[in-house]
Amino acid sequence: MTYGQVAKTLRLAGGARTAGRAMAACPSGRGIPWHRVVGAGGRLLIREPYASLQKKLLQTEGVELAEKQIQKFRNHEWKPAPRSRKRPAKTKQPSGAH
């Protein structure tokens, strides 16, 4: 997924840069797959030492890279399902419930 896709999915004002800052602020050790978020077209954008770690983690998942670019990015890209615009129906509370 790209930083732009993260921003769009989460409706982040500021777009891809805001998504990048949010990803950088994620606490380590929480199971957040930060290494799967890349720049447009599958470019690896983060700096060392994390760039080498990102590349290594992606390669262990079967992703082929050339330099700092994911090969055949479209084959690996995750695209979230479109959101439904329908709102769930309100449920009626039983009498006496607060």
- Give CA–CA dist 15/68, Å, rounded: 22
Among positive and negative, which fits the CA dihedral 17, 19, 21, 23? negative
Residue 94 domain flag: no
* Model confidence pTM above 0.75: no
Alpha helices in the chain (DSSP H): 3-10, 15-24, 50-60, 73-76
Cis preceding linkage at 49, omega within 30: yes
The number of distinct structural domains making up the chain is 1
Residues 46-91 pLDDT 10s: 888 888 999 999 999 999 999 889 998 888 887 777 766 666 666 6
Residue 81 domain flag: no
Residue 39 domain flag: yes
Domain that holds residue 20: 3-76
